[in-house]
Structure 1
Amino acid sequence: MPRLLLRLEGIALFLLATAAFAYAGASWWLYLVLFLLPDVSFAGYAAGPRVGAAAYNALHTTLGPAVLAGLGLWLDHSMLLGIAATWAAHIGFDRMLGYGLKYASGFHDTHLGRIGRQPAGA
């Protein structure tokens, strides 16, 4: 049940953040370009699972978009709000699919449980 609730939270975040992006009035091209940008953090895994997990988690926690949205509100800057909304939408989409924050033990070990194919005999 907790895993289902976490995925439903992901759907809610994705939908709400996408609606917030629309409300900010930014170009949908920006949304399309920025939506997958947090996944550049995968490159950190080239330096090993500890660095990869740190890089991935830095761009896949809601803290970053929340701070950016707060800054956008404080400065009344719709572009910052649009970027924050896109970032949050990406995180929600990942959570909806079951991708969680990573542990240093490996990419497949997440706070939502193990992802991917299980090894034979597991």
Structure 2
Amino acid sequence: MTTGREADMPRLLLRLEGLALFVLATLAFAYTGLSWWLYALLFLGPDLSFAAYKAGPKPGAIVYNALHSTLGPALLAGWGLAANEPLCLGLAAIWAAHIGFDRMLGYGLKYASGFHDTHLGRIGRQAAGA
């Protein structure tokens, strides 16, 4: 059986990974030479996926997870590198930075059971009792 501190260690490590992703992706964006206005304008873009929750928790989780998984920005960055497209690299960096920021704050990928159920644990007001 694990103690409370031992159980919190994986969650802490995942949050630290999020911090690292946020910082490194932001630095990567700086290397693209693109405008910081673009970064500011698009940083919260993936959160538009919240609108999918109007269709219910299952479709909401699918859309949210699609835009909050590192797979999308990794593929976009790969394309940007292969095609030598700084814009693709910049967009991938912004996207990855957003994901890292969310993870750092404890917002994980969602389960179909509801918005508050994430791979990093329960979020929101009900988290304290969970």
Q: TM-score, normalised by structure 1?
A: 0.97
Alignment map for 1:43-122 (pairs within 5 Å): 43-118=51-126
| 1:58-100 deviations in Å (ceiling 9; x for gaps) | 0000000000000000000001000000000000000000000
Q: Specify whether residues 16 and 121 from structure 1 end up closer, same or farther in structure 2 by C-alpha distance, changes over 3 A only.
A: closer
Aligned length: 122
Query: Hey, what's the Cα distance between the residues in 1 that align with 2:85 and 2:114?
Result: 38
Cα deviation for residue 118 of structure 1 reads 1.4
Q: TM-score, normalised by structure 2?
A: 0.91
> What stretches of structure 2 of length at least 5 have no aligned partner?
1-8
**Match of 1:26, SS?**
coil
Q: Specify whether residues 34 and 119 from structure 1 end up closer, same or farther in structure 2 by C-alpha distance, changes over 3 A only.
A: closer
Residue identity over aligned pairs, in percent, reads 77
**Match of 2:13, SS?**
helix
Cα deviation for residue 27 of structure 1 reads 0.4
| 1:41-66 deviations in Å (ceiling 9; x for gaps) | 00000000001000100000000000
The two structures, once aligned, show a CA RMSD in angstroms of: 1.4
